[in-house]
A = this chain, B = another copy of it.
């Protein structure tokens, strides 16, 4: 996965020495993320599912992959409701080291099995540059989580793959920092980047995060990359997910990534912000109407 020639070269002595890592790529005339000269916008292709066209890209699934049965059942239910991409964490970044850290490789296998049975594409997080090659064998789209938005070795590593990357905004990242994180990926040669607004920290309110929807039209004005929204982390509150999903579409988001589970209260992680698959199906019908109102399309039953 790591380009050993240009990167390590002949000065490399041992397996882990990385003398060339400090070398910066050459600065292009325009940032690679810049909208200038690419008015049509980039369409990211997740193994056939397009992100950035009139049809919205809806990613849905549980916070964590818990078992083969769980992920398969949710995959069937969200596909039925109209989603085309399955989300689910196999490698989980957890604030406490003692919390469930995900099923790891086994989780990836369950995701791929669910994908094969339903036709949904898989997006899942990768946290460690050493796992990029592994995760890329299973996932159709690599997710970089908020905590890792400025983990540059990881950004470079996914930038060297040919997989689309879903890049989540850091909790206190400015728009410029967000775009420059995408630039780190693109500078390595991978132009298939989707930006995801997922709530910021700042003023402490009664909610976990402040979903900054102004980011959507702002970013769409600055970059040709697709922009999606995560209303689940962005509000931390299941009852607000439908309203904020509608708002995201109304202000121009190219898609959504939503945490859903057939039984949210039994979810191992993020139960408070997870909607039921029944609520998700209902939400999809609402989104179809809003999408039409703003000239987009949303597949639903």
Contact = CB atoms under 8 A, between A and B. Distances in A.
Interface of A: 1, 11, 14, 16-27, 90-107, 127-131, 133-134, 147-148, 150-154, 171-172, 174-177, 180, 183-184, 187, 200-207, 210-218, 221, 234-235, 237, 239-240, 243-244, 246-252, 286, 289-290, 292-294
Nearest to A93: B152
Nearest to A253: B247
A13 B175 CA distance: 41
Contacts of A239: 217, 221
A210 to B, nearest CB: 5
Nearest to A205: B174
19 contacts: A19-B106, A21-B128, A22-B90, A22-B92, A97-B152, A97-B180, A127-B151, A171-B172, A174-B204, A175-B205, A200-B203, A200-B210, A213-B213, A214-B234, A214-B240, A214-B244, A217-B240, A246-B251, A289-B294
How many copies of this kind of chain does the complex include?
Answer: 4
Nearest to A127: B153
A170 to B, nearest CB: 8
A184 B23 contact: no
B18 A97 contact: no
A180 B95 contact: yes
A128 B26 CA distance: 22
Contacts of A184: 97
Contacts of A174: 203-206
A296 to B, nearest CB: 11
A243 B251 contact: yes
A228 to B, nearest CB: 14
Contacts of A234: 214
A186 B253 CA distance: 39
